[in-house]
Structure 1
Amino acid sequence: MISDWEFLGSIRGYVPVPILILIYAYLLRRKLSDVARGLTIGVGILVASMGARWADEPLCHMHPVGTHFLWHILNAVMLAWMIEVYHRHMLAGKRAKR
């Protein structure tokens, strides 16, 4: 019997990550709206990368390259984006102190 979460395959363990980031973005929405928006964009990138990983196994049978490379590329883009969100937040904080 297949469990309720088994259809997610290899991304099962990653499911809490975008949920937690979205919760954090929601909590920050009033005080740090730019950060919240940036985190939400990051979640979109992460979900796209998770979709690429999820689709990889079934698509590998039709197309040998699959989509696994997109998982890595989109994860790198997401990491770079989150660093940029943090960087912008830190710069804004320094400007506010002047």
Structure 2
Amino acid sequence: MDPKHFPDPTSSDPDRFDEAMPPYVYMPFGGEPRVCARSQLARMNILMLLHNVVTCYNWSLIHPDEPVTSDSLPYPIHGMPIRISPKRRSID
């Protein structure tokens, strides 16, 4: 809320964060050592979800021979649709 670092601190102006902040300026959900603690929890939840989706499901392309075209970047003609099905677990 310091007007020295943030002109008009009570207004909503996301563009004020486009420029680099001076060292040691307090930013509530900022980066470096003061990054929001929940960002690590969110990252861990995403990693766990990805692990379960990759290890518990089979992935296959619906159009395995789908051609790739390019405008400025290469991309599949049909958008590369996939079929996801649960893996069968064997009972040991």
Q: TM-score, normalised by structure 1?
A: 0.29
Higher strand share: 2
Bigger relative contact order, structure 1 or 2 (CA pairs below 8 A, ≥6 apart): 1
Greater Rg by CA = 2
Higher helix share: 1
